[in-house]
Amino acid sequence: MNDCSQPFRETKPFRGSVLVVDDSAVVRTIVTRCLQKAGFYVEQAGDGAVALQLLAASGHDVIVTDLAMPELDGLALLASVKRIAPTSEVIILTGTYAKDIACAVRALRLGAHDYITKSLENHEEIVLAVERALEKKRLRDENQRLLRELQLLSRTDALTGLPNRRSLDEDLAHHVARSRRHGQALGIVMLDLDHFKAINDTHGHPGGDEILRAFAGIATCALRAGDVLYRFGGEEFVAVLPHADLAGALTVANRIVAATSANLVPVGSSRIRVTTSAGVACLAGDGSDLLARADAALYEAKKAGRNRARGARGPLSVIAGGRTA
Ligand code: GH3
Ligand code: MG
Ligand code: MG
């Protein structure tokens, strides 16, 4: 039998937080003492309803609960915990239903981590069950963290840190749907650095990479709050401009074109002038050809001599410096 009679002394950080729920004050005290002695931070509740209040306030890692309790019983508490605090683990500790296999199966099906019987002889089993539950929670939390990291990485361009093409495809579909639903404008700017192959040839691929990073910064600074720049691929970028009509998007495109040619980008020991061309398109019809129309306008900008922006629809086109051509 464990020696639970020694007073608990806090010397190390807690191994985890546990909520002990039992309508018997004696059982609560015994279980609490053992878990405290094993290094856990423990709170107590006399029934399921109080337990839920404490859980909402503190978000315990593990809940050790009795089954038969007045008001809210153990199974009802378990169901509520799985709904409101799904990352908390629940261990059912029962005396009344100790031999009730059907009840144990039901608890496990509802998501209980473990189902153990009360014993005044051996408290080690409770400590072990809590340790296993904590380890399971730790692994699940870590998996979720890694999954979130992976999702973020899969949407991020490693070179520039901008959201990537995959991210653009997903976000643009949402923007188009939202703009169509609310009858709002949506503009995009497709950007392609001019003569980038020659820059690579002169300054090497690492030099080209530096320029791509610098351009990402310059173009981002030229955007308004709420606009987002994506790396489309290679030396091509796309800015998504919610609420922008063609004239507004052209203004932004021109700002990027002008800022790019105005900034000398440091590459190794030299500082070089880089220019970009831009094609602008705004939402029309179902929006499925938005990128294609911006790309066609970009082609027009290249054909017209580069270092300028062109709009996809209508006669209005604006070149760098704000002049209208
Ligand atoms: P234009 O003015 O018509 O756009 O000419 P350009 O030379 O920029 O266009 P082209 O498509 O011929 O060349 C694009 C170059 O971009 C070729 C490719 O090697 C380079 N490139 C693509 N991705 C990267 C990258 O991640 N880093 C570097 N340094 N270069 C890249
Ligand atoms: Mg290109
Ligand atoms: Mg290019």
Q: Which residues of the chain have pLDDT under 70?
A: 1-12, 97-98, 120-122, 313-325
Q: Whose CA is nearest to atom 13 of ligand 1?
A: 197
* Paired tokens of 50: 């109080």
What is residue 2's predicted lDDT score, i.e. its pLDDT?
A: 47
Residue 267 domain-assigned (yes or no): yes
**CB-ligand 1 contact for 323 (6 Å cutoff):** no
Q: How many domains does the chain have?
A: 2
Residue 4 domain-assigned (yes or no): no
Q: Which amino acid is at 32?
A: T
What is residue 165's predicted lDDT score, i.e. its pLDDT?
A: 97
Closest-lying ligand to the alpha carbon of 203?
A: 1
What is residue 7's predicted lDDT score, i.e. its pLDDT?
A: 55
- Provide the CATH number for the domain around residue 257: 3.30.70.270
Q: Which of 325, 321, 296, 288 is nearest to 307 (CA)?
A: 321
Inter-CA distances, 139 with 71, 131, 148, 163, Å: 34, 12, 14, 29
- pTM of the full structure: 0.75
Same domain? 306 vs 211: yes
Same domain? 299 vs 198: yes
How close is the Cα of 67 to the center of ligand 3, in Å?
Answer: 69
Annotate 4-31 with DSSP letters as a single string.
Answer: --SPP---S--S-EEEEE-S-HHHHHHH
Residue 88 near residue 51, CB atoms below 8 Å: no
Residue 36 near residue 8, CB atoms below 8 Å: yes
Burial of 18 (0-12, 13-18, 19+ CB in 10 A): buried
**CB-ligand 1 contact for 204 (6 Å cutoff):** no
**CB-ligand 1 contact for 200 (6 Å cutoff):** yes
Q: Which of 277, 242, 244 is nearest to 258 (CA)?
A: 277
Same domain? 103 vs 144: yes
Closest-lying ligand to the alpha carbon of 200?
A: 1
What is residue 4's predicted lDDT score, i.e. its pLDDT?
A: 52
**CB-ligand 1 contact for 305 (6 Å cutoff):** no
How close is the Cα of 281 to the center of ligand 2, in Å?
Answer: 18
Residue 304 domain-assigned (yes or no): yes
* Domain span holding position 189: 165-311
122, 152, 182 - which closes a domain: 152
